[in-house]
Amino acid sequence: MLTLFHPASGEVRARGVQSCTNVVLHGWLKEELADIVASLPAQPELSIKATRELWKSWQEGLQVKITLSEKLPALRMLLVMDNLAGHKTPELVLWMFANGIMPLYTPLSGSWLNMAESIQRIIKRRALECQHLETVEEIIKRLEATVRGWNREPTPFEWGGKRAARRIRSRERRHALGGSGAYTRRAIRRGSTLTQQWQQACQMTH
């Protein structure tokens, strides 16, 4: 399932395919990206230097920086992609540059940083769990129908969010036991604390 995901709105663009060659992927990707860019509001005009600095700012901190074109249009979109060879072909990258799209690649073994992976898992579970589909065409239809259903009431994604805050609060309420993976919800009095309390009690009785 070819997937484009906009985390801020939760909107998904997807297409079920039987193969994912560069010809298939790049054709679909260009079509969808061109449509998205065309729908974006106009950007304020910047000088050539300021425009280039804006593009370069998104490479700060990267160990491997993609070579930018000499001439760059206004930056319209950031596109997070997995670190695959098919996503780095010169023809595709130059096309994205020409259309104001900055590709940003997740680190190797870091596909979990791409939220499109998360939405794919959600769509797959909703579409295929408890189903007995016998053909590829049936699977594709179910996946695409589920995407249409999702887009009727999409859920925005954000890094961390309420779930992360709940996990932090939960961890703060836990107390580790002896450095193991076990924990307790109530703090256990340490031996040294009990000893101090006993010594204080003895002093008070003297």
DSSP string, 125-168: HHHHTT----SHHHHHHHHHHHHHHHHHS-----SSHHHHHHHH
pLDDT at 205: 45
The verdict on 139 and 185 lying in the same domain is no
Which pair of structure tokens corresponds to residue 114? 């791409």
How confident is residue 128, by pLDDT bands cut at 50, 70 and 90? Answer: confident
Neighbours of 119 (CB within 10 A): 24
Q: What is the DSSP letter of 76?
A: -
Q: Which residues pair with 12 in a beta bridge?
A: 5
- Rounded to the nearest 10 degrees, the angle between the axes of helix 90-98 and helix 22-39 is 10
The verdict on 200 and 100 lying in the same domain is no
Domain membership of residue 34 as a residue range: 2-152
For the whole prediction, is pTM greater than 0.95?
no
The verdict on 115 and 79 lying in the same domain is yes
The verdict on 52 and 118 lying in the same domain is yes
Number of domains in the chain: 2
The verdict on 107 and 192 lying in the same domain is no
pLDDT at 86: 86
Q: Which residue has the higher pLDDT, 100 or 193?
A: 100
Count how many Cα atoms sit within 13 Å of the Cα of residue 29 in the half-sphere of its side chain. 23
The verdict on 172 and 143 lying in the same domain is no
The verdict on 147 and 50 lying in the same domain is yes
Q: Which residue has the higher pLDDT, 144 or 192?
A: 144
pLDDT tens profile 152-166: 999 888 877 666 677
Q: Which of 40-44, 95-99, 102-106 has the lowest mean pLDDT?
A: 40-44
The verdict on 119 and 169 lying in the same domain is no
The verdict on 28 and 124 lying in the same domain is yes
Mean pLDDT of the chain: 84
Buried b (16+ CB within 10 A) or exposed e, 97-108: bebbbbbebbee
Q: Which residue has the higher pLDDT, 172 or 97?
A: 97
d(CA 23, CA 5): 21
The verdict on 85 and 137 lying in the same domain is yes
pLDDT at 206: 43
